Amino acid sequence: MASTLFDKLWNEHLIERQDDHTDLIYIDRIFLHERTGSIALESLEADGRQVFCPEQVFCCMDHIVDTYPGRGDDTTMPSGRDFIVATRSAVAEAGITLFDLGDPRQGIVHVVSPEQGIVQPGVTLVCPDSHTCTQGAFGALAWGIGSSEAEHALVTKSLRVQRPRTMRVRFEGALSPAVSAKDMVLYLIAAFGASGGSGYAIEFAGPAVEALDMEARMTLCNMAVEFSAFTGIIAPDDTTFSYLRGRPYSPTGDALAQAENYWRSLRSDPDAQFGRELVIDCADIEPSVTWGTSPEHCVPISAAVPLSVGSDDPARERALRYMGLAPGQRLSGLAIEAAFIGSCTNARLSDLRAAAKVLRGRRVADGLRAICVPGSMQVRAAAEAEGLDRVFIDAGFEWRESGCSMCFYAGGEHFGYEQRVISTTNRNFESRQGPRTRTHLASPVTVAVSALRGCITDPRDFL
């Protein structure tokens, strides 16, 4: 019978059926971070349990570490140091590989794992972080879990998982200039709703997806969780294989040939049946920006805040009140106080290059707070080798060390009360980036041009 890529990945990791819906699935690799990893490991110790296979477990310091140059274990978040110290001690005790502060490989978990070649086609990989779906871009089955599930995976190298249904989202045609993977996924979520992918494992496919480089594919898969999907996956191809070659944890020599031979089998059969199929014509996708407090509150940047449709909608009213906007108000030209380039969504080298291209030789608007937080210290080093740090700094951006930073407010650094921020991150939830901070999600190039003008700006104005 014809199988989808998801079916192949799932069945290959199926230890045994538990009941009609739930399977015991083998987990190849696990990532932890200091925010929840410390709690999971301490809980295991309290229960007298041990990590089964620590050599397949990795940990990043990313969630609450500071990103100021010269940072240490102290954090602007009160008590952040406790999480860092507890994590360091627990992973050392368990024998887990740590990408610690000061390590040139440190960074955001979903940037570090691909960079190191830890995620590979055909593996199952879990992390107590919802954006683990990012790593599905490699043809891996990668998904976010809670702390209890992390403990389960650490101890048993398996998880009890309800088998999701399958969906394929085909992006036909080609992207227009200044339109990126971020705009693709925002378009998808706006068109089908923030819960449109609920219960599904989604394969992203079609010529526009095949044309994306690995970093853009990661951006697309990253926001599968904002679509409420179990995860996103992209079939691995030569783009994937060439990205992985020479990475520290990638296979070499004969093992590489053996692995690549297997990796090439990881694609949906031509006549595989999906539970649901969506088709999007890329000609319809423009640079996008969110206006509200859910990623589904998103429109083309040339459009206005939607007028009410039919009956009154309290959630929409609440979002507009929170954002200080009115129906029919144009987004382009809306004044912003800050611009943020960072996060597991859009802080890889290609994202920084796209932003730097428009920032080069220009200055951000007077009084605007602009921050760039590279996705990893390797991204940072690679950007510096190209002189991108000078481009950002000369344009008026702060140039930071790596971490999740102000993608979310953990009690430390934040964008202020009712400050309007345009951000390359993934969530525009109420108070996500600071107390009552107003977040507009967009692509790196849209954030960069908006920073220059001091207002939400269509990147096509700069072509």
Partner 1 sequence: MSIDAFHRCTGVAAAMLRPNIDTDAIIPSREMKRVSKVGLGEGLFAGERYLAAETREPSPDFVLNQPEYRDCCILLAGPNFGCGSSREHAVWALKEFGIRAIVAPSFGAIFANNCVRNGLLPVTLAQAQVEDVADWVLDAPANNHVTIDLDLQRLVAGAISVTFEVDAGARQMLLNGLDAIALTQTRWNQIADFDRKRRESHPWLYQQESSMP
- Residue among 438 and 453 whose Cβ is closer to partner 1: 438
Residue choice 198, 242, 265, 308 for contact with partner 1 (CB under 8 A): 198
User: What radius of gyration, in Å, describes the C-alpha atoms of the chain?
Assistant: 21
Q: Which stretch binds partner 1 (CB under 8 A): 31-39, 270-278, 395-403, 448-456?
A: 31-39
- Binding track, positions 443-462, relative to partner 1; x by CB under 8 A: --------------------
The residues, ordered by sequence, that sit 6+ positions from 207 with a Cβ below 8 Å of its Cβ are 171, 172, 173, 174
Residues 374-433 that bind partner 1 (CB under 8 A): 408-411, 427, 429-432
HSE of 148 in the Cβ direction (CA atoms, 13 Å)? 1
Q: Which stretch binds partner 1 (CB under 8 A): 143-151, 360-368, 388-396, 440-448?
A: 143-151
Is residue 275 within 8 A of residue 200, CB to CB? The reply is: yes
Tell me how far, at minimum, the Cβ of 98 lies from partner 1, in Å: 12
Tell me how far, at minimum, the Cβ of 296 lies from partner 1, in Å: 8
Residue choice 10, 31, 83, 291 for contact with partner 1 (CB under 8 A): 83
Strands 298-300 and 288-290, by their bridges, are: antiparallel
Q: Considering the rule CB under 8 A, would residue 144 count as an interface residue with partner 1?
A: yes
Tell me how far, at minimum, the Cβ of 357 lies from partner 1, in Å: 32
Pick the closest to residue 229 from 167, 290, 140 (CA basis). Answer: 167
- Residue among 199 and 306 whose Cβ is closer to partner 1: 199
Residues 4-23 that bind partner 1 (CB under 8 A): 15-16, 18-22
**What secondary structure does DSSP assign to 113-136, as a single string?**
HHHHT-S-TT-EEEESSGGGGGGG
Q: Considering the rule CB under 8 A, would residue 79 count as an interface residue with partner 1?
A: yes
Alpha carbon distance, N-terminus to C-terminus of the chain? 49
- Look up residue 231 and give its amino acid: T
- Look up residue 257 and give its amino acid: A
φ/ψ of residue 202, rounded to 5 = -110, 125
Residue choice 31, 230, 274, 291 for contact with partner 1 (CB under 8 A): 230
Residue choice 174, 262, 330, 385 for contact with partner 1 (CB under 8 A): 262
Pick the closest to residue 105 from 337, 320, 348, 381 (CA basis). Answer: 381
- Residue among 147 and 273 whose Cβ is closer to partner 1: 147
- Binding track, positions 266-305, relative to partner 1; x by CB under 8 A: ----------------------------x-x---------
| Distance from C-alpha of 121 to C-alpha of 105, rounded to nearest angstrom | 21
Q: How many CB atoms lie within 10 A of CB 134?
A: 33
Q: Considering the rule CB under 8 A, would residue 115 count as an interface residue with partner 1?
A: no
Q: Considering the rule CB under 8 A, would residue 147 count as an interface residue with partner 1?
A: yes
Q: Which stretch binds partner 1 (CB under 8 A): 134-142, 157-165, 170-178, 364-372?
A: 157-165
Q: Which stretch binds partner 1 (CB under 8 A): 1-9, 202-210, 249-257, 383-391?
A: 249-257
Q: How many residues bind partner 1 (CB under 8 A)?
A: 80
Q: Considering the rule CB under 8 A, would residue 435 count as an interface residue with partner 1?
A: yes
Q: Considering the rule CB under 8 A, would residue 329 count as an interface residue with partner 1?
A: no
**What secondary structure does DSSP assign to 243-290, as a single string?**
HHTT-TTS--HHHHHHHHHHHTT-S--TT---SEEEEEEGGG---EEE
Q: Considering the rule CB under 8 A, would residue 130 count as an interface residue with partner 1?
A: yes
Strands 14-17 and 22-26, by their bridges, are: antiparallel
